[in-house]
């Protein structure tokens, strides 16, 4: 998980100029080159690490007024998730005059590309990722175009082998601009295929939402809650409640099938505590714990920002799987969301789980993808990735035809559930 760094010092970063793009010089008294291209729009590139940071005023001004800002676009968050060792992060800010229009926040990352099946291909490499699940601001096509073009210049000049874009919407302007780069030799490879991205458009009241289900489904949901027994839901939004929530969440996480299958997801440590405290300070923390007969049995790590509730992490005691604790928890969370500080949207994040299909009333398609620059090395790496996917796909198709796929999937899930 992510965490907040300690004391932050803000000083300008190093730079050069590149066409219509300008980068801040090392001398803090110098100013970016003021050459203004046609249309009055220019892009500035600035680096940052744990000891130096671009001026915050422009970044925060854009963050506070953007309708699409996420907590992970905040400068403190960007600096906190920066690796302690390695290359600095950098931002591309598109401005008209002194007014910021959009920003790309790039964070160094070791991209896990999957098992290499061709000699010379790599299973991972040092690249960068776009933070915040998209651009900050940048609601005009022309602004997105300028930022993407500047990104390509930086990829070439910095010799970046791969760029990761998380949860890119298939119908977004950013995706369209990235697709246009294929004419210049760039290659886009989804780390997962484009899949349904489920959301719930929340009505004004819980009664209005539950009435969208037929009577049979409503009765089934009600019986699940009744069968679950004596339980209580607690909402956590304040920094003072973080310690208790973390202790309970770790207790539950150690008993969850997610930990059994993927490793422990929530840890009661200083890193998690700083991260959750940061969310609380921003007024964005909104997590939950479900107690049954006084014992913590399920949790949601979530946050709410710009009228969107993000369902970040969930876990429940696998010993109670027959009582459907996950569905009971979700029902209670939805009731709470629609009765207290109601957001407009509930975002499940990536994944096409059956429970998401059941509760969602809105969906788009999105994927996490990698972008590779032109060149033989990139072509060979992509060929290895495509061959691995092809072999995996054929193996799955064979298992599905023989009827073994669902059987093996259930057995894996049952083993993870104990």
156, 162, 165, 169 alpha-carbon torsion, rounded to 10° = 90
- Same domain membership, residue 400 and residue 323: no
What pLDDT is attached to residue 418?
47
Q: Do 264 and 147 reside in the same domain of the chain?
A: no
Pairing of strands 187-190, 136-137: unpaired
pLDDT attached to residue 194: 80
Nearest to 250 by CA among 266, 269, 262: 266
Please report which confidence band the pLDDT of residue 51 belongs to, taking 50, 70 and 90 as the band edges. Answer: confident
Go through 260-271 and write b for each residue having 16 or more CB atoms within 10 A of its CB, e for each that does not: beeeebbeeeee
Of the three residues 106, 138, 161, the one that is the final residue of a domain is: 161
The CATH number covering residue 121 comes to 3.40.630
The tally of domains found in the chain comes to 3
Q: What pLDDT does residue 25 have?
A: 34
| Co-location of 133 and 229 in the same domain | no
390 occurs within a structural domain:
yes
The mean pLDDT of 296-320, rounded to a whole number, is 93
Clarify whether residues 33 and 138 are in a common domain. Answer: yes
Spatial neighbors of 141 by CB under 8 A, at least 6 apart, are: 173, 177
Q: What is the pLDDT of residues 347-372, one digit of tens each?
A: 998 877 888 999 999 999 898 999 99
Q: Are residues 215 and 301 in the same domain?
A: yes
Per-residue confidence (pLDDT) for residue 69, from 0 to 100: 94
Query: Which tops the pLDDT comparison, 138 or 164?
Result: 164
Q: What pLDDT shows up at residue 11? A: 30
Task: Return the pLDDT at 412.
Answer: 62
99-112/89-96 β-pairing? antiparallel
The range of the structural domain enclosing residue 295 comes to 203-343
- What is the DSSP code (8-state) at residue 400? H
CB contact at 8 A, 325 and 298: yes
pLDDT of residue 28: 34
Rg (CA), the chain: 23
Per-residue pLDDT reduced to its tens digit, 175-185 = 999 999 999 99
DSSP 152-220: HHHHHHTT---EEEEEEETTSHHHHHHHHGGGGT-EEEESS--EEEEEEE--SSHHHHHTTS-HHHHHH
Residue 402 has a CB neighbour count (10 Å cut-off) of: 9
């Amino acid at each position: 998980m992510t965490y907040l760094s300690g004391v932050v010092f803000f000083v300008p970063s190093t730079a050069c100029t590149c066409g219509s793009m300008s980068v801040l010089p090392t001398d803090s008294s110098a100013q970016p080159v003021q050459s203004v291209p046609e249309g009055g729009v220019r892009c500035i590139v600035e680096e940052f690490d744990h000891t130096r940071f671009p001026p915050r005023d422009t970044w925060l001004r854009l963050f506070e007024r953007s309708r699409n800002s996420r907590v992970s676009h905040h400068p403190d968050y960007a600096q906190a998730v920066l690796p302690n060792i390695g290359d600095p992060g950098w931002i591309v800010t598109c401005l008209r005059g002194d007014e910021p229009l959009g920003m790309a926040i790039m964070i160094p990352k070791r991209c896990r590309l999957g098992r290499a099946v061709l000699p010379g291909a790599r299973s991972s490499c040092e690249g960068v990722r776009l933070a915040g699940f998209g651009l900050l601001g940048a609601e005009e096509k022309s602004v997105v175009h300028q930022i993407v073009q500047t990104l390509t210049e930086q990829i070439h000049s910095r010799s970046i082998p791969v760029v990761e874009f998380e949860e890119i919407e298939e119908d977004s302007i950013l995706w369209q601009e990235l697709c246009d780069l294929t004419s210049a030799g760039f290659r886009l490879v989804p780390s997962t295929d484009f899949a349904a991205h489920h959301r719930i458009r929340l009505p004004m009241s819980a009664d209005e939402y539950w009435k969208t289900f037929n009577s049979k489904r409503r009765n089934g949901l009600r019986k699940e809650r009744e069968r679950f027994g004596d339980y209580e839901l607690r909402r956590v939004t304040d920094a003072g409640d973080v310690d208790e929530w973390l202790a309970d969440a770790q207790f539950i996480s150690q008993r969850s099938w997610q930990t059994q299958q993927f490793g422990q997801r929530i840890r009661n440590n200083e890193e998690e505590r700083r991260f959750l405290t940061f969310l609380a300070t921003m007024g964005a923390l909104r997590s939950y714990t479900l107690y049954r007969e006084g014992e913590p049995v399920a949790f949601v790590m979530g946050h709410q920002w710009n009228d969107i509730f993000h369902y970040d992490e969930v876990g429940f005691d696998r010993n109670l799987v027959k009582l459907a604790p996950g569905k009971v928890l979700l029902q209670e969370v939805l009731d709470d969301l629609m009765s207290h500080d109601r957001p407009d949207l509930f975002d499940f994040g990536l994944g096409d789980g059956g429970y998401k299909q059941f509760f969602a009333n809105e969906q788009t398609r999105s994927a996490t993808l990698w972008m590779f620059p032109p060149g033989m090395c990139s072509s060979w790496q992509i060929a290895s990735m495509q061959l691995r996917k092809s072999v995996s796909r054929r193996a799955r198709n064979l298992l599905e035809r023989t009827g073994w796929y669902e059987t093996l999937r259930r057995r894996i899930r049952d083993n993870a559930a104990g």
